[in-house]
Amino acid sequence: MSFKEDNKTIAALATGKGKSALAVIRISGIDAFKIVAKCLNPEKRFNNARPKSIHLYYLINSKTKKNIDEITAIKYVSPKSYTGENMVEIICHGNELIIDEIFSILFNNGIRFAKKGEFTRRAYLNGKIDLLKAESINQIIESSNKIQYKNAMEMFSGNNKHILLKWKKEILDILIEIDAEIEFPEEDDIIHKKKEYLKKIEYLSKIIREEIVKREKIKIIESGLIVPIIGIANAGKSSLFNLIIGFNRVIVHHEAGTTRDAISEEILIGDEKTKIIDTAGLNDSKNIVEILGIEKSWQYIKNSHLIIWVTPSDQEINKTEEKMLKEIDSQRTIAIISKNDLNTDKKKKNILEKIKIPYIETCLIKDDSKEKNKIINFLSQHIKKITDVNNAEPGIICNKRHEEIFIRINKKMNAILERAETNFEEILSYELKGILADLEEFIGETINDEILNSIFSEFCIGK
Ligand SMILES: Nc1nc2c(ncn2[C@@H]2O[C@H](COP(=O)(O)OP(=O)(O)O)[C@@H](O)[C@H]2O)c(=O)[nH]1
Ligand SMILES: [Mg+2]
């Protein structure tokens, strides 16, 4: 997306769409005060208002003078505003009819609609915030889980930048020394110094790798946990699937196939985005569609984070289940013993206890919220365990841009460590210069339009 900078006054809705008690419209630019004043009654009150003080007005159609809404407005005088420009925030009632009307009045007076991330882009270009802070604002709003949010807050607070600047200084120090040595070699010193440099690079390289691993763990949580429901035919898999998705109504996405295919829903269980999958029964079959369905079930099992095995209490563990148990990772399997309203097979519980698969016994067809709660709690408890085992913690890498830079840095670190024998100083100097440039790009000390465009195109309108 090409983006031409202009200094026109812009406006956008800063709050969400739909009906709400209040909505906030943001206006920023050189003509913000002049244009807004024309649309407010009493105009004088707005012209005389102190910066950052909030007052009540009628917002009027500047031509017909008809009242559109009763609003409050705050004015921010440049440079003491989010964007660094003159800004107005109008708080009106949260109804699309009103909001559309206000925008059409603003547009008729020469204001244009803000592009994605344009407020934050202006804030960045006017030196109000640095690049990492701009990125973090987007992530704070877009976070769909706690760890992502925590990550964004670390970046927002400047802690991450502080660490990156520290690394930059360490690398710069080595670079200054090594470049001096290349120019004025002193043999005695070199061997001793080489060890010292390698130690520092190994240390930094370890941290970089740890950050990449942290990111991988967070990515699993971000993209959602894969949780297939497996078991033999008629075990109650579909009944459980319906119960879970019916109970967790935060449905984001749904995929459906034939009854023999896997059906999945993305839902929130506890705090975690979870893709719950109803699979085809793992029975031996000669029917081709069924075989394909079973193969698909196995694909899901292989790629899963947690497996829910449904097994009916009125049957002993059969051959298919025995075979299945041999193949699945029991460490990440939990069991639901269904049909406990029918005759129960006590041996089943003993086997599960022996192979250390956590289980609950339940009836899946009772319309009983207590029973449903029990199942959901059991599930969320184990999903939480999986994410805890995963032990994701906030890191420095918050998005794809950061990740790509870290992978580049890691490669350069490896190049130094792998080729530590020959031409050591030259390689070290060359690669460190590259790493320095990578860090500067990360922090936003060197940035071009292409990078800026790609960062701000991720934003929503109004940010
Ligand atoms: N009595 C009883 N019947 C159940 C229970 N769970 C499922 N069923 C029944 O078992 C049959 C198969 O259930 P379904 O969920 O389709 O199993 P799936 O083949 O594993 O998906 C249906 O007739 C369900 O109503 C349960 O806990 N108790
Ligand atoms: Mg089914």
Best residue for ligand 1 mutational test, from 240, 277, 359, 365 (most atoms within 8 Å of Cβ): 365
- Please give the number of the atom of ligand 1 that sits closest to the Cα of 242: 15
Best residue for ligand 1 mutational test, from 234, 278, 310 (most atoms within 8 Å of Cβ): 234
Note whether 129 and 123 are within 8 A (CB): yes
The answer, yes or no, to whether any atom of ligand 1 lies below 6 A from the CB of 312, is no
Instruction: Map tokens 């950052």 to a residue.
Output: 52
The answer, yes or no, to whether any atom of ligand 1 lies below 6 A from the CB of 235, is yes
Distance of CA 375 to the CA centre of its chain: 28
Q: Which ligand is nearest to the CA of 242?
A: 1
Q: What is the pLDDT of residue 302?
A: 84
Cβ contacts of 238-243, under 8 Å, gap ≥ 24? 238/278, 239/338, 239/364, 239/365, 240/308, 240/310, 240/336, 240/338, 240/364, 240/375, 241/265, 241/276, 241/278, 243/364, 243/372, 243/375
pTM > 0.85: yes or no: no
pLDDT by residue, tens only, the chain of 463 residues:
445 678 899 999 999 988 999 999 999 999 999 999 999 999 999 999 999 999 999 999 988 999 999 999 999 999 999 999 999 999 999 999 999 999 999 999 999 999 999 999 999 999 999 999 999 999 999 887 778 888 999 999 999 999 999 999 999 999 998 888 777 776 666 667 888 888 999 999 999 999 999 898 888 777 788 999 999 988 999 999 999 988 654 433 444 444 456 788 888 887 778 889 988 877 655 566 666 666 777 778 888 999 999 999 998 888 889 888 888 888 899 999 999 998 777 788 888 999 999 999 999 988 888 988 999 999 999 988 877 755 678 899 999 999 999 999 999 999 999 887 777 888 899 999 999 999 999 999 988 888 888 888 888 877 8
Name the region of 35 (left: φ>0; alpha: ψ -120 to 50; beta: rest): alpha
Helix (H) or strand (E) holding 95: none
Note whether 261 and 241 are within 8 A (CB): no
Cβ contacts of 234-238, under 8 Å, gap ≥ 24? 234/281, 234/312, 235/281, 235/310, 235/311, 235/312, 235/338, 236/310, 236/312, 236/336, 236/338, 236/339, 236/364, 236/365, 237/278, 237/279, 237/281, 237/310, 238/278
Residue of the nearest CA to atom 28 in ligand 1? 339
Tell me how far the alpha carbon of residue 298 lies from the centroid of ligand 2, in angstroms. Answer: 15
Best residue for ligand 1 mutational test, from 239, 245, 345, 374 (most atoms within 8 Å of Cβ): 239
Residue of the nearest CA to atom 3 in ligand 1? 339
Q: Which ligand is nearest to the CA of 364?
A: 1
Count the residues in the chain.
463
Q: What is the pLDDT of residue 163?
A: 95
The answer, yes or no, to whether any atom of ligand 1 lies below 6 A from the CB of 289, is no
The answer, yes or no, to whether any atom of ligand 1 lies below 6 A from the CB of 394, is no
- Please give the number of the atom of ligand 1 that sits closest to the Cα of 363: 27
Residue of the nearest CA to atom 7 in ligand 1? 236
Distance of CA 366 to the CA centre of its chain: 37
Instruction: Map tokens 């802690």 to a residue.
Output: 159
Q: What is the pLDDT of residue 435?
A: 97
How many of the other CB atoms lie within 10 Å of CB of 418?
A: 9
- Please give the number of the atom of ligand 1 that sits closest to the Cα of 340: 27
Tell me how far the alpha carbon of residue 233 lies from the centroid of ligand 2, in angstroms. Answer: 7
How many of the other CB atoms lie within 10 Å of CB of 69?
A: 19
